[in-house]
Amino acid sequence: MNLLFQIFGLVLIVGIPVYLHACVKFAGIIQAERPEWIERCGSLRFFYTGRFTLADPNVQHAILGIAFSSRWREIGSSVAPIYVGRIRFLLPFLLIVFGSLIVAIFVFKP
């Protein structure tokens, strides 16, 4: 069982930075080509002034919404499909791995 936790940990340690890199790069592409898609003003927007746009949860939600919809096809960048593919694969995969890790912790009690 120890090997199971090590494998889950390794997958999460490698997968999360790759996922975050894809999100940041895709956000940059959207910001450059279609900034109106991610300019959302929530009631708590003033907390995020002066920070990177991806720090705002509304922007994060908008980026995931674009990645999981068909609107990303309107972006002219040649690398956008690569980042969208990574986001579409890694988000569900990492959520499944994390959920399995939580269940394994409660079942096997390492």
Domains in the chain: boundaries:
2-40+47-108
> Alpha-carbon distance 98 to 88, whole Å?
16
Q: ∠ CA 7-13-15 to the nearest 5 degrees?
A: 95
Which residue from 93, 87, 76, 94 is spatially nearest to 22, judged by alpha carbons? Answer: 87
> Alpha-carbon distance 72 to 84, whole Å?
8
pLDDT per residue, tens digit, the chain (110 aa), is 788 889 999 999 999 999 999 999 999 999 999 988 887 666 666 666 666 667 778 888 899 999 999 999 999 999 999 999 999 999 999 999 999 999 988 998 76
Residue 30 three-state SS? helix
pTM for the complete prediction? 0.86
